Amino acid sequence: MAQNGSTLPAAIVSRMDSYPENKRRPVNKTLFNNEYFQLTLNMRNESLVISSRGDLVYSAIPYDTARNYIQRAAVQTLLHPDATHAYIEGHKPNLETYLALSIFQVTGKKVGKDSAEVQAAYQQIFKDPLFEMQILGRMLQHDETGPLSANLAGKFLYSENLKTGISGYLSEYVNFVVQLTHALPIFTDGKQVQLLSENDGEARFLAENKHLLLNKNSDLSEALMWLPAPVRSNLEVAISEQATAAALRPLLRSEMQESLTATRKNYVAHSRRPEELEQYFENVLTIENSNLVNVISDCHVLDGKLPFRNLNFNILVGDVSDSKVSDALIRGIYILGNHELSDILPETDQLNQPQWQPFLKYEWFKCLVDNPDEAWPLLPVGNHPFYQVVEAEIATRFPKVVVLHNESIIHEGIRYIGLTIPVALVLRRKEVQGFIYTTLVELLNQDTEIPTVIVSHAPLFNELSLLPPESGSYQKDYVCSDERIKALFKQYNIIGAIHGHHHIPASSSRFKRTEFAGKSLFVVCSIYSKINTGFELIPLITE
């Protein structure tokens, strides 16, 4: 993309110079703002971020984690209002469950999904487009991270939602992104923000994905006819590149700080783990997947069968099963994750069988049997005989899949190297990277020409990871400190890396381009969810 080049477009430089505060800001430069939002450019990595300015409150609901989903839903609704209606209608069975629970939380009255109260609340969703955007965002979150449980009334009942301030926030957000895309060569999906460039690859990318990306040329005619009059009026003014006023009154921190602080202080968490609630909801989305090279990881299946179906070539990047899953039809490759290590274990009374005897003396194995979460930091590196036992067991469950335990395979002219790195062993980084180097030397086999993708459950190191530094799981010391590995990447035609493990939701991005060892590589992390049954790798490996 344009922002990865060495020279910023003239329009961006000019815009940057027009904000005096940028002279004293070495890193985050303002490129565009209005009263409530701003677009900033990080000068270190030339990334763009839309953020609300300090006084604007997104939601009065404590710990509301859906903002990115709702902003993405807002952009998609601007582009395709009919698709928003259809998505929500397709989720009616689950929305009825949420509405019945919401009504109970407010009134204490138990009502059925077919009751008049639930059906009236369901119809109310379609009477306010800003509320409908929110419902789309909530269902996107539901499909990606599992059922919601906290503060359901404020999220799903229109009467309660009016008190949250989210509609006012959304009104200002859609106003801002439309202003932005008409003021600068920008496109956005509601989370990622990119600069448009004039190269052929960029133009082709935008043409292929124009249905997902808001930009100056997006057709908003359907949305303008459907949106409330104040919002429609503001967007029409924004498109004409004039100044615009607020459409709905948002919540402002300067006016609400005391009540917001009191609400959060007195908040009693009553959320439940999503997996505890799965039984009460239906999967209304298709499990079919037609990707030619389908990347997926971290399914953590609990019912013994794969939750998706793809009859082409699959790259299963570990932590697929927590219930001894088997599948006789799926094809592709399988990389061992940490959950496979406990999933293959027999019942405790069967650990005296011959294949387990060599491992009973190890502390990490005892932990694996008794409490796997305590075992992860203790796991042996790479080539321990225990992994061979795991590999053999997984192979019997997936007869058409090749388990790549520190091995390689060639598929359609691409060499895939599977490294067994179940977890990120930060404190044993030198040992792990020594293993990575030695194994790569063996598997690369002096063939410097064939395009090669390296696959591991945990990322190789931070440079080839999608985990963002602001994540609580990020370890700043987990970097590539072995110069020999960098030399291999320079020498061989390694084009990308794939990992799983960190449960990065699809809405945060499933791939990126990064510079490592003097070359541009792709990094992919595709975590399973009901709206993400895999990532199509073909565009990246053929680019």
Q: Render each residue's pLDDT in the chain as its tens digit; 543 residues.
A: 443 444 677 777 888 888 888 988 888 999 999 989 999 998 887 788 999 987 899 999 998 999 999 999 999 999 999 999 999 999 999 999 999 999 999 999 999 999 999 999 999 999 999 999 999 999 999 999 999 999 999 999 999 999 999 999 999 999 999 999 888 888 898 888 888 766 555 555 555 666 678 988 889 989 888 888 888 887 887 777 554 444 567 888 888 878 878 777 777 777 788 888 888 899 999 999 999 999 999 999 999 999 999 999 999 999 999 999 999 999 999 999 999 999 999 988 888 889 899 999 999 999 999 999 999 999 999 899 999 999 999 999 999 999 999 999 999 999 999 999 999 999 999 999 999 999 999 999 999 999 999 999 999 999 999 999 989 999 999 999 999 999 999 999 999 999 999 999 888 889 998 999 999 999 999 999 999 999 999 999 987
Rounded CA-CA distance 419/454 in Å is: 7
- What confidence score (pLDDT) does residue 511 get? 92
- Same domain? For 223 and 323 the reply is no
DSSP strand pairing (519-524 vs 193-195): unpaired
In degrees and rounded to multiples of 5, residue 26 shows phi and psi of -75, -25
Nearest C-alpha neighbor of 444 from the set 403, 488, 412, 487: 488
331-334 and 313-316 beta bridge pairing: parallel
Are 159 and 131 found together in one domain? yes
pLDDT at 246: 45
d(CA 53, CA 221): 29
d(CA 206, CA 273): 38
What the block records as the tokens of 520 is 């541009």
Looking at the fold, whether 273 and 141 belong to one and the same domain comes out as yes
Residues 347 and 304 in one domain: yes
- Does residue 24 sit in the same domain as residue 83? no
In sequence order, the β-bridge partners of residue 522 are: 496, 513
Residues 152 and 133 in one domain: yes
Same domain, 530 and 509: yes
81 and 211, same domain (yes or no): no
Locus of tokens 């459907």:
226
Q: How far is CA 514 from CA 419, 497, 517, 521, in A?
A: 20, 10, 10, 5
Q: How far is CA 505 from CA 146, 151, 468, 501, 521, in A?
A: 11, 22, 12, 11, 21
Which of 268, 283, 298 represents a domain boundary (last residue)?
Answer: 283
For 105, counting Cβ atoms within 10 Å of its Cβ (0-12 exposed, 13-18 middle, 19+ buried), the class is: middle
Type of residue at 19: Y
Which of 283, 310, 337 terminates a domain? The answer is: 283
Per the structure, the complete domain to which residue 302 belongs is given by 286-542
508: part of which helix (H) or strand (E)? none
Q: Are residues 324 and 420 in the same domain?
A: yes
Burial group, residue 413, by CB count within 10 angstroms (0-12, 13-18, 19+): exposed
Q: Is residue 422 within 8 Å of 338, Cβ to Cβ? A: yes
Check whether residue 15 and residue 101 sit in a common domain.
Answer: no
User: What is the pLDDT, as a whole number, of residue 203?
Assistant: 55
Domains identified in the chain, total number = 3
Q: How far apart are CA 30 and CA 42, in angstroms?
A: 9
Q: Are residues 274 and 128 in the same domain?
A: yes
> What is the reported pLDDT for 320?
97
Model pLDDT, residue 280: 87
Does 226 lie in the same domain as 134? yes
Which of 261, 283, 305 is the endpoint of a domain? 283
CATH number at residue 442: 3.60.21
